[in-house]
Amino acid sequence: MVAFYNAIPVGHIKVGLRSFDCRNPFPEEMNRRVTSCLASLHFAPTARARQNLLGEGICDERIFVTGNTIVDALQSVPVGERFESRELSDIDFDSRRVLLVTARRRESHGLALRSILSALKTLLQKLKDMEILYPVHPNPNVAGSVREEMNGLSRVHIVNPLAYGDLLRVIRRCWLSLTDSRGYSGRSTVFS
């Protein structure tokens, strides 16, 4: 808004992602919508995001489909690089199925997070060759629940938040990633 008020052109990256619910995710969805109104150039990650912008009346010549920045970042990190965090040295990515979990969103606090943790415990019982890696967000609503439910369980690695490079290296090596982060659909995503 400061740039707009000072007649400085605004470029919006990862534009056009929509949940179509201004309160969910909060406040990200509203911030995305407002920024789209102020932006001069729109850098959309996907054709679907571009279509969302066109549907909102953004001029086609101001929209550029550039790809997904997280996918580009992920592909740029060599798998064989060493981890920065020593907490990751005990995890056997080569012979175990490692499930990466990053559940921390406000919408997941409370009962939703407890349900996720319960499902993770069920997976541990059913998949004897699986380990869980959970870099825990410091928010007490997350860390408290995770540590209370998961501390002391074998094959569970509760670690501090990871540096970006380490997170990308873990994603490249793990069997499956489970996250409550949201993409353009507004739904949680699971990817491997």
* pLDDT tens readout for residues 98-136: 999 987 776 777 688 898 899 999 999 999 999 999 999
In a domain, 120, yes or no: yes
Mean pLDDT of the chain: 85
- Residue 112: CATH number of its domain: 3.40.50.2000
In a domain, 75, yes or no: no
In a domain, 74, yes or no: no
Do 93 and 180 belong together in one domain?
Answer: yes
pLDDT, average across residues 138-147: 85
In a domain, 73, yes or no: no
Can you give the residue range of the structural domain that contains 60?
2-67
| 35 three-state secondary structure | helix
Number of separate domains in the chain: 2
The DSSP result for 61-98, as a single string, is: GGEEE---HHHHHHHHS-TTSPPS-GGGTT--TTTSEE
* Alpha helices in the chain, H assignment, sequence order: 2-5, 28-38, 47-55, 69-76, 111-126, 140-150, 164-173
Is residue 184 predicted with pLDDT exceeding 80? no
Which of 146, 135, 159, 142 has the alpha carbon at shortest distance from 106? 142
Q: How confident is the model at residue 179 (pLDDT cuts 50, 70, 90)?
A: confident
